[in-house]
């Protein structure tokens, strides 16, 4: 079992934790900082350590093979936007664009579809967009529900496209899509 996993119905045993407490000793020791002390705490009443509850979004928990976090879609989108902006900013400022692409792991070649010849990176394109509203399906209607943004909500978004070609095909790789795959 992982560190905080317990068999169903078992109360968690007393856990040994290391905490950093002041205990008012800063004055006793005559200097302005506290010291850490080892304490034993019984967490059987602590809902966060008993693990009889499901893990919600953003909760780290261990599994035998990995540790992971869950982010909601809005947080993932915001993080992706920051990564994209920083990547593009670095590329634009780089004196040696090819060195930057190599350092960041952008593939200079990729396999062709279905055994076709490999594609070579030939262009890097920047595209500026401004989202001025949203449109989503309406309940019981074939019309989209449209919500235009007020001026202060309109934000500039820049995306990068990597253009690969061979004698038989042309392919654009969206930087956001590439980053979303974990690159």
pLDDT digits (tens, 9 = 90+) for 79-135: 888 999 999 999 999 999 999 999 999 999 999 998 899 999 999 999 998 999 999
Sorted by where each begins, the domain ranges of the chain are 15-68, 73-180
Q: What tens digit of pLDDT does each residue of 9-33 get? A: 544 444 444 444 444 444 444 444 4
How high is the pLDDT of residue 65?
A: 58
pLDDT given for residue 180 in this prediction: 85
pTM score, two decimals? 0.53
Mean pLDDT of the chain: 75
Residues 146-179 pLDDT 10s: 999 999 999 888 889 999 999 999 999 999 888 8
Both tokens of 123, joined, read 């262009």
Q: What is the pLDDT of residue 70?
A: 56
């Amino acid at each position: 079992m992982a560190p905080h996993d317990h068999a169903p119905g078992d109360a968690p045993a007393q856990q040994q934790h290391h905490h950093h407490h002041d205990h008012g000793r800063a004055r006793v020791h005559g200097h302005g900082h506290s010291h850490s002390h080892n304490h034993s705490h019984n967490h059987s009443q602590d809902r966060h350590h008993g693990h009889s509850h499901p893990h919600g979004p953003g909760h780290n928990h261990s599994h035998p093979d990995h540790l992971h976090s869950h982010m909601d879609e809005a947080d993932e989108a915001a993080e992706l936007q920051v990564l994209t902006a920083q990547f593009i900013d670095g590329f634009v400022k780089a004196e040696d664009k090819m060195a930057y692409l190599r350092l960041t792991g952008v593939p200079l070649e990729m396999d062709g579809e279905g055994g076709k010849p490999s594609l070579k990176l030939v262009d890097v394109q920047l595209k500026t967009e401004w989202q001025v509203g949203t449109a989503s399906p309406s309940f019981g209607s074939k019309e989209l529900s449209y919500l235009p943004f007020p001026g202060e909500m309109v934000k500039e978004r820049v995306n990068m496209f990597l253009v690969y070609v061979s004698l038989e095909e042309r392919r654009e790789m969206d930087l956001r899509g590439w980053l979303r795959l974990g690159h």
